[in-house]
Amino acid sequence: MSRIERVPANKASPFARIAYFMCKRRLGQVLEPIAVTANHPRLLRGYAHMEMAQEAATTIDARLKLLCDVKAAMLVGCPF
């Protein structure tokens, strides 16, 4: 639980609604970092660009990227 409140979908900006839709389609729910970052639309846009760039990177194998994601999540105690 974060100290900053999440932005509900009905009060989100158009870009945030697109981010919510994409996140929900891929993961089944809107993740808290995205919902909190939606408080600042320019920051959300930068966050989205960073995530898309990391996903599009082809320097390492996709399976290794996934394993790194899981290990990082385990280290910080993230349930995702």
Given a contact cutoff of 8 angstroms between Cβ atoms, the answer to whether 38 and 7 are in contact is: yes
pLDDT band for position 80 (cuts 50, 70, 90): low
45 CB burial (10 A radius; 0-12, 13-18, 19+)? middle
Count of domains forming the chain? 1
In a domain, 67, yes or no: yes
List pLDDT tens digits, range 20-63.
999 999 889 998 889 999 999 999 999 999 988 988 888 888 89
- DSSP structural state of residue 11: G
HSE, CB side, 13 Å, CA atoms: give it for residue 40: 7
Q: What is the pLDDT of residue 58?
A: 85
Residue 54: domain span: 9-76
In a domain, 68, yes or no: yes
In a domain, 4, yes or no: no
In a domain, 1, yes or no: no
Q: How far is residue 1's CA from residue 68's CA, in Å, rounded to a whole number?
A: 24
Q: What is the pLDDT of residue 18?
A: 93
Could you tell me which residue, 3 or 34, shows the higher pLDDT?
34
